[in-house]
């Protein structure tokens, strides 16, 4: 869902369940996408990335899916653990003027894992 | 531990003070970034340096003055800040700006303006 004011969208899951975090991106020209995890008091930590010539990429317990038709990105976390509790941000590169320097972040989703 | 080190971790300053935030990386990266992050919001890009030259300034007020003295260091000089400038300031780096790649972030400096 969309965040309103100071409220982050929150996903609450039971430990051991699978989590799916969704993100809608804005720029059709974006050709690179990243998911970051940000724990309280820390900077964003890279999880997984995907380029626009792919529609799926898997890492360790994580999978990113890209649907360019509807400009949608998702992060799937298998067997969610308490240590996965954090805010998750998607980001796109925007690809403005050929510069790869700009990362445009989505609003973020807070994942809470119940033991 | 991150490979991008930011100091100090916390900073409290008055509106008339002058202070600096520091960022250091030894990964040989030649692009470095400053972001501002308010609570419960995503990071917002402020500045990008490429090969020690300012590449992007996202219309940041002049009370924020970046400096890249060498390829490993990035500073953000602060002067006459406002209470609304209180935020987490994040530094990041990449090998270059030529290809899309993950940005490596530090853990930030938590800045409070009194």
3-state secondary structure of B89: strand
* Contact residues for A77 (Cβ-Cβ < 8 A; gap 6+): A18, A19, A20, A21, A61, A62, A84, A111
The CA distance from B66 to B55, in Å, is 11
**pLDDT of res. A106:** 93
pLDDT at A2 over 50: no
- A89 prior amide bond cis, ω within 30: no
* pLDDT, mean of residues A9-20: 96
How does residue A64 score in pLDDT terms, banded at 50, 70 and 90? very high
The residue in chain B having the minimum alpha-carbon distance to the alpha carbon of residue A99 is: B97
Contact A105 B102 (CB under 8 A): no
**pLDDT of res. A55:** 97
The residue in chain B having the minimum alpha-carbon distance to the alpha carbon of residue A47 is: B102
Contact A99 B103 (CB under 8 A): no
How does residue A5 score in pLDDT terms, banded at 50, 70 and 90? very low
DSSP chain A: ---BTTBPPEEEEETTS-EEEEEE---TT--EEEEEEE-TTS--EEEEEEETT-SEEE-SSEEEEEETTTTEEEEEESS--GGG-EEEEEEE-TTGGG-----EE---EEEEEE-
With beta carbons under 8 A apart, name residues in chain A contacting B100: 31-32, 51, 93, 95, 100
The CA distance from A96 to B39, in Å, is 27
| Structure tokens given for B35 | 């972001």
* Residue-by-residue pLDDT tens, chain B, 114 positions: 569 999 999 999 999 999 999 999 999 999 999 999 999 999 999 999 999 999 989 899 999 999 999 999 999 999 999 999 999 999 999 999 888 889 999 999 999 999
Let me know: does B5 contact B26? Beta carbons within 8 Å: no
**pLDDT of res. A97:** 53
Percent of chain A with pLDDT over 90: 76
How does residue A93 score in pLDDT terms, banded at 50, 70 and 90? confident
């Amino acid at each position: 869902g969309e965040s309103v004011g100071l409220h982050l969208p929150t996903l609450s899951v039971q430990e051991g369940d699978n989590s799916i975090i969704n993100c809608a991106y804005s720029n059709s020209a974006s050709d690179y996408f990243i998911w970051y995890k940000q724990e309280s008091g820390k900077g964003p930590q890279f999880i997984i990335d995907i380029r626009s010539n792919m529609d799926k990429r898997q890492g360790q317990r994580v999978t990113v899916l890209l649907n360019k038709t509807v400009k949608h990105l998702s992060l799937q976390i298998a067997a969610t653990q308490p240590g996965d509790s954090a805010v998750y941000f998607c980001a796109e590169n925007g690809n403005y003027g050929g510069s790869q320097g700009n990362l445009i972040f989505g609003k973020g989703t807070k994942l809470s894992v119940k033991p | 531990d991150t490979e991008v080190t930011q100091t100090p971790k916390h900073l409290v300053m008055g509106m008339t003070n002058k202070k600096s935030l520091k960022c250091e990386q030894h990964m040989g990266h030649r692009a470095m970034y400053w972001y501002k992050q308010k609570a419960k919001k995503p990071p917002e890009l402020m500045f990008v340096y490429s090969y020690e030259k300012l590449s992007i300034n996202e219309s940041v007020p002049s009370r924020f003055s970046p400096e890249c003295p060498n390829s490993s260091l990035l500073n953000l000089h602060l002067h006459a800040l406002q209470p609304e400038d209180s935020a987490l300031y994040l530094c990041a780096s990449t090998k270059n700006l030529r290809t899309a790649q993950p940005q490596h972030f530090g853990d930030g400096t938590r800045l409070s303006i009194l």
